[in-house]
Amino acid sequence: MNILLLGGTGQLGRECLLRAGPDLRIVAPTRQELDLAAPGGIEAFVAAQDADVIVNAAAYTAVDKAEAERDLAHVLNAEVPGRLAAAAAAKGIPLVHVSTDYVFDGRKGAPYRPDDPVAPLGAYGASKEAGERAVRAAGARAVILRTAWVYGPFGGNFLATMLRVGAERDVLKVVDDQRGTPTTAADLAAACLAIAARLVDEPSEPGGTFHFTNAGETTWCGFARAIFEIAGPRLPKVPQVLAITTAEYPTPAKRPADSRLDCAATLARFPVIQPDWRAALAATLDRLLQRTNDA
Ligand SMILES: NC(=O)C1=CN([C@@H]2O[C@H](COP(=O)(O)OP(=O)(O)OC[C@H]3O[C@@H](n4cnc5c(N)ncnc54)[C@H](OP(=O)(O)O)[C@@H]3O)[C@@H](O)[C@H]2O)C=CC1
Ligand SMILES: Cc1cn([C@H]2C[C@H](O)[C@@H](COP(=O)(O)OP(=O)(O)O[C@H]3O[C@@H](C)C(=O)[C@@H](O)[C@H]3O)O2)c(=O)[nH]c1=O
Ligand SMILES: [Mg+2]
């Protein structure tokens, strides 16, 4: 299978590239080769590729900054996916596009199903929601895969922030009234590649909108506490994690209070595996701390 991957330097993109091999060739253009902020060249670029499927892991992911950079967020998160989907349709190849739990307002009080109404609270979520609509409108055979709270051993994410700040401070205050599921970029990459393979192997698979996270749920505070519980013995210093409310941690962008995603339809339809979030965290910390100790 030949995959054209957008966003190969990001958290998800890097984990996809680690899974490349003789049977899984992945071409990932650099920003120099394809600047997605100037997306006019996308259709011609895609047309020239020898790809069986496109995986879009590129995005504008700075949630707070997006409030002040709405135009750039819209280009990356809405216009680019629309153009990729149109190019995929023109070429007759499928697309896996990744979206977010932040398309929901978090007021449902139960895990969101793929067809629940969307109502983003901030500019990032709104741009991603527009991207979902653009992909659907382009008429490609596409899976829109919503995920949440993505982290891993590479790149900027909540885990990296907690380890960095935890090394500097004795007390961390973390919101305990936003519920969701941390998801490793590694497990998400495996799911994206499994879905891409199914789309390629089964031309009758129509695609649609699906959810994938690790299993279980917590809050950002619960996530932070788990990080220090699991990694603590291997860290020079462990901070105290204090639970606070969202009101006590003002941010430019509003975030959903409960964005748990119901992944049942994805597990029923595609050969994906959904490790428990704590086990996935432990595996990620093993990789990350191993790398740090070796360096
Ligand atoms: N991170 C999270 O918590 C979550 C992410 N998602 C979604 O998952 C997907 C993957 O996210 P994640 O891996 O965390 O994202 P990252 O922010 O780690 O990576 C984003 C990727 O997009 C690329 N990119 C950004 N701007 C441009 C540009 N102008 N031209 C070319 N490439 C560009 C980046 O390239 P460069 O390295 O050059 O900047 C990078 O490869 C996204 O669709 C995101 O919305 C969904 C839920 C949670
Ligand atoms: C660093 C920090 C954050 N927080 C809060 C702020 C926020 O409500 C929550 C998460 O903070 P972050 O800014 O790291 O996470 P955030 O950027 O909101 O993460 C989101 O990214 C995008 C791309 C997605 O698609 C989402 O699924 C989600 O993963 O934790 C604290 O309470 N204390 C802290 O010390
Ligand atoms: Mg952030």
Q: Which atom of ligand 2 is nearest to the CA of 63?
A: 17
* pLDDT mean across residues, the chain: 97
Helix (H), strand (E) at residue 244: strand 240-244
pLDDT tier at 290 (50, 70, 90 boundaries)?
confident
Residue with tokens 């013995």: 233
The yes-or-no verdict on residue 5 having pLDDT over 70 is yes
The answer to the question of residue 236 being in a domain is: no
Dihedral sign for Cα 29, 148, 75, 68, please: negative
Whether 151 is catalytic is no
> Average of pLDDT values for 196-217?
98
C-alpha to C-alpha distance for 200 and 198, rounded to whole angstroms: 5
The answer to the question of residue 193 being in a domain is: yes
The yes-or-no verdict on residue 293 having pLDDT over 80 is no
Q: Catalytic one among 60, 102, 112, 124?
A: 124
pLDDT tier at 270 (50, 70, 90 boundaries)?
very high
The answer to the question of residue 131 being in a domain is: yes
The answer to the question of residue 26 being in a domain is: yes
Is residue 103 within 8 A of residue 125, CB to CB? The reply is yes
Number of structural domains the chain divides into: 1
- This prediction's pTM: 0.97
Distance (Å) from CA 252 to ligand 2 centroid: 12
Distance (Å) from CA 233 to ligand 1 centroid: 32
Of 155 and 266, the one with more pLDDT? 266
pLDDT tens track for 96-110: 999 999 999 999 999
User: How far is residue 132 CA from its own chain's centroid?
Assistant: 14
The answer to the question of residue 191 being in a domain is: yes
Tell me the CATH number at 195. 3.40.50.720
Rounded to 5°, the CA angle 209-212-217 comes to 130
Tokens of 99: 């979206």
C-alpha to C-alpha distance for 146 and 164, rounded to whole angstroms: 28
pLDDT at position 130, please? Answer: 98
Amino acid at 252: P
C-alpha to C-alpha distance for 158 and 174, rounded to whole angstroms: 11
> Average of pLDDT values for 260-273?
98
218-219 and 53-56 as β-strands: parallel, antiparallel, unpaired?
A: unpaired
Residue length of the chain: 295
Measuring CA to CA, how many Å separate 206 from each of 122, 144, 154, 180, 203?
A: 30, 11, 33, 28, 8
pLDDT tier at 294 (50, 70, 90 boundaries)?
low
Give the residue, out of 103, 158, 162, with the most ligand 2 atoms within 8 A of its beta carbon, to mutate for a pocket test. 158
pLDDT at position 211, please? Answer: 98
> Residues near ligand 1 with C-beta < 6 Å?
7-13, 31, 35-37, 57-59, 61, 76, 98, 100, 128, 147-150, 155, 185
The answer to the question of residue 206 being in a domain is: yes
End-to-end CA distance of the chain: 34
C-alpha to C-alpha distance for 192 and 17, rounded to whole angstroms: 12
How many CA atoms are closer than 13 Å to the CA of 151, on its beta-carbon side? Answer: 24
pLDDT at position 292, please? Answer: 60
* Cβ atoms < 10 Å from Cβ of 61: 21
The yes-or-no verdict on residue 291 having pLDDT over 80 is no
The answer to the question of residue 266 being in a domain is: yes
The yes-or-no verdict on residue 295 having pLDDT over 60 is no
Instruction: Residue 29: give the domain boundaries.
Output: 2-156+183-215+260-275
The yes-or-no verdict on residue 277 having pLDDT over 70 is yes
**Eight-state DSSP code of residue 10:** S
| Residue 99, helix vs strand vs coil | strand
The answer to the question of residue 106 being in a domain is: yes
Is residue 219 within 8 A of residue 179, CB to CB? The reply is yes
